[in-house]
Amino acid sequence: PVILEVSDLNKIYEASNGPVMALRGANLTVRKGEFICLLGASGCGKSTLLRIVAGFETATEGSVAVYGCKVDGPGPDRGMVFQDYALFPWLTVQENIGFGPSHRRIAPKEVAKLTEKFMAMVGLTDFADRYPHQLSGGMKQRVAIARVLANDADILLMDEPFGALDALTRSTLQEELIELWRTTRLTVIFVTHSVEEAVLLADRVVMMTAGPGRIDCEVDIDLPRP
């Protein structure tokens, strides 16, 4: 089944030096459980597309639908992981992961259970009471991923999530993410400018190409998984 439908998105930014066309006619259909890598050169509009899907930004034209329903703002069905982690610095690992559930109508006991579960899933149980500044980059990104999962998101949106990590940590997190995707069958849309990373992670690669004044989603490549 189709979980996400992006239709004819246009995005024009009004910058100080005039309008910037960041997206022109971007289309993307995502089926439930797919791991899609959105690949393209810097500036071609990948982050813009992801932010519009997340609902952090509005499109100039076009629409985004989740399970056939148009969305025009953020929702717990879509969770974002950023390159710079974006954790709450004043909350511990445990509190960061439990943030979503604790703000919904869920019994505290249930929140604790959810938090435990996802903290364990990313291997951070022993670090429950640490604050973000007391964690390595890899750990911070595990917290960010667990926070999205604990919020019960169907779609995990990742914007170059491993770009700030050293090569060894990056490759560890890549392996963990593949494993997580295999076990949860979450739908993942992963933005990267690295062909290597896209081919390693994706079961479908979507190429975005940019020319002067136009940006499209163009090529769809289905990859056989080893």
Binding site for ligand ADP (CB under 6 A): 13, 15, 20, 22, 40, 42-48, 160
Distance, CA of 85 to CA of 186 (rounded, Å): 20
Q: 37 forms bridges with which residues in the sheet?
A: 190, 205
Neighbours of 98 (CB within 10 A): 26
DSSP 56: S
CB of 209 to ligand ADP, least distance (A): 11
CB of 40 to ligand ADP, least distance (A): 6
Q: Which of 30, 146, 167, 141 is nearest to 95 (CA)?
A: 146
**Measured from the CB atom, is 100 or 161 closer to ligand ADP?**
161
Ramachandran sector of residue 115 (left: φ over 0; alpha: ψ -120 to 50; beta: rest): alpha
CB of 212 to ligand ADP, least distance (A): 11
CB of 80 to ligand ADP, least distance (A): 12
Instruction: Please report how the helices 93-102 and 137-150 are oriented relative to each other, as an axis angle in degrees rounded to 10.
Output: 20
**Measured from the CB atom, is 160 or 197 closer to ligand ADP?**
160
SS3 164: coil
CB of 197 to ligand ADP, least distance (A): 14
**Measured from the CB atom, is 15 or 107 closer to ligand ADP?**
15
**Measured from the CB atom, is 20 or 106 closer to ligand ADP?**
20
**Measured from the CB atom, is 34 or 160 closer to ligand ADP?**
160
**Measured from the CB atom, is 53 or 119 closer to ligand ADP?**
53
CB of 8 to ligand ADP, least distance (A): 17
State the amino acid at position 30 in one-letter form: V
Decide the pairing of beta strands 61-66 and 2-15. Answer: antiparallel
Is residue 116 packed enough to be buried (19+ CB in 10 Å), middle (13-18) or exposed (0-12)? Answer: middle
